[in-house]
Amino acid sequence: MSKILVAITMTLYMFFTLLPIVWSQSNEDARRPLDLPSGGSGDDEDDEDAPETINFWGGAYEGDAFFWCLDKSCSMGWNGEIQQLKEEFTSTISSLSSQAEFGVVAFSDGHISWRASPVKANTANKGSATAWVLALNAAGWTCLGPAGVETLNIANQSQKQFKQIMILSDGEPYCNGSNTATQSLQDITMANWQQIPINTIYIATDNGGIVFMQQLAMQNNGTFFNPL
């Protein structure tokens, strides 16, 4: 009988001694946060903010928003430049990711904008912009200055951090018979209060507009490119 009492006593002692330890460990496990896999919801934001690289007429440009200012003056039709412009733009715009933004302006006697504000580079917008550029005809003067200012007005509306502007032309600005290079350079540079890089692409075989296009890029943190 005494052996039974001793066994019962030892059993009760071990039960009440170990119970708080087990309860404490269980409670601690309940409060312990789950181990989550590395990389959270911020990855999508990082991807959205990350710049991408595009190629336009042989030049590489890195950004998250791209704005084109395209020459459609009469000289763009002399040697098939307007057709090459359409092919280059079509190829480049199709490469944009859906996270990018873009805008397009074209100029000759005056200028026209595809959209008055930046848009997402989704499939529908890229298709619409491509069709718009494909319908451009080469005619008129090279009134580049106001078109450059309008391109900046569109780009300034974008909240993206790595914006790029690309101005393409085959000559120096001439508008209604007058050389407007100095005025165009001044107007565009003054309008660039956000200091967006303005990259210039000069596609003529002569040197008539090279100095202007080089100065425009240099004064606006951009690059000058002559693919010929």
Count of domains for the chain? 1
User: Quick check: is 120 in a domain?
Assistant: yes
Does position 15 have pLDDT exceeding 60, yes or no? no
User: Quick check: is 26 in a domain?
Assistant: no
User: Quick check: is 1 in a domain?
Assistant: no
Does position 23 have pLDDT exceeding 60, yes or no? no
Does position 16 have pLDDT exceeding 80, yes or no? no
pLDDT at residue number 190 = 98
pLDDT at residue number 49 = 66
pLDDT at residue number 26 = 44
Percent of the chain exceeding pLDDT 90 equals 76
φ/ψ of residue 72, rounded to 5: -130, 30
User: Quick check: is 28 in a domain?
Assistant: no
Is the torsion defined by CA of 61, 56, 205, 173 positive or negative? negative
Task: Taking residues 51-76, report their average pLDDT.
Answer: 97
User: Quick check: is 203 in a domain?
Assistant: yes
Percent of the chain exceeding pLDDT 70 equals 79
Question: Which residue is associated with the tokens 């009440």?
Answer: 16
Tens-place pLDDT, residues 153-175: 999 999 999 999 999 999 999 99
The mean pLDDT of the chain is 86
User: Quick check: is 21 in a domain?
Assistant: no
Does position 5 have pLDDT exceeding 50, yes or no? no
Contacts 24+ apart (CB under 8 A), 180-185: 180/143, 180/144, 180/145, 181/212, 183/145, 184/144, 184/145, 184/148, 184/212, 184/216, 185/212, 185/215, 185/216, 185/219
User: Quick check: is 218 in a domain?
Assistant: yes
Does position 79 have pLDDT exceeding 70, yes or no? yes
- CATH number, residue 218: 3.40.50.410
Does position 19 have pLDDT exceeding 80, yes or no? no
Tens-place pLDDT, residues 108-157: 999 999 999 999 999 999 999 999 999 999 999 999 999 999 999 999 99
Tens-place pLDDT, residues 192-223: 999 999 999 999 988 999 999 999 999 999 99
Tell me the two tokens of residue 9: 């006593």
Domain that holds residue 108: 47-225
Which residue type sits at 167? I
User: 78: which residues sit within 8 A by CB, 6+ positions away?
Assistant: none
User: Quick check: is 31 in a domain?
Assistant: no
**Bridge partners, residue 53, by sequence:** 62
pLDDT at residue number 50 = 82
